[in-house]
Amino acid sequence: MRLKDRVAIITGGANGIGRATASTFAREGAKVVVADMNEAAGQAVVDAIVATGGAASLARVNVTDPTEVQRMMENAVATYGRIDILINNAGITADARLVKMDLEQWQRVIEVNLKGVFLCGQAAARCMEMQESGGVILNAASVVALYGNFGQSNYVATKAGVIGMTKAWARELGRKKIRVNAVAPGFIATDMMKTIPDKVMATVQEKTPLGRLGDPQDIANAYLFLASDEAAFITGAVVSVDGGIVL
């Protein structure tokens, strides 16, 4: 019960890494707000947590809308009294080579993956600054932010930006007892990976020293550690959870 009675908001909490993280945090004692645009999938996660004795609620939110983000934070405080943890997990892809990428593809990914992280982080930090105990903000980066990736100018730019914001926030918020870290997943077996051709994924798996794709639970476990008191002296870090592929 490493997160007993703490309140955690998880964006993109309805599927993949977000779903695994919500379930893991609930098992560790957290009261979880599953934040997602997909109400049906999000409610299924909430129902599964409650059915096993956990505490969870659903927040339908568009992370690119500041009004909706602020309402989500206010509702969490009204329901649970505080916000201890924010997992900025929501993200999308819209891949294309540089010479083929249109402005709409670029802007859509920037809006969700960068602006959305900024808006949620800002709103959560404002709440956490008013708490004597501070809080924890964890941002989803990616290993592609560290070495680039073919056909992902927009996605790579957002994830590199997230790493930069993470370090800036860690400097700004540390004195308010707010820790800020990023997790950089490698290639994880989620629905997002289904758009990648099998031949490419086979090559990725072959080049990964551990010889497999990651599981959403691998990332959830990293989030759990960083959100817990075991990581009380870690801030401004970027933790790669990638099976060694960046080597």
Active site residues: 155
Domain assignment present for 50: yes
CA separation for the pair 186, 243 (Å, rounded): 7
- Domain tally, the chain: 1
Domain assignment present for 56: yes
Domain assignment present for 85: yes
What confidence tens digit (pLDDT) does each residue in 98-107 have? 999 999 999 9
Nearest to 32 by CA among 50, 17, 44: 50
Query: DSSP states of 34-80 as a string?
Result: EEES-HHHHHHHHHHHHHTT-EEEEEE--TT-HHHHHHHHHHHHHHH
What confidence tens digit (pLDDT) does each residue in 159-190 have? 999 999 999 999 999 999 999 999 999 999 88
Domain assignment present for 21: yes
What confidence tens digit (pLDDT) does each residue in 29-76 have? 999 999 999 999 999 999 999 999 999 999 999 999 999 999 999 999
Residue 58, domain CATH: 3.40.50.720
Question: What is the model's pTM?
Answer: 0.95
What residues make up the domain containing 150?
7-187+216-238
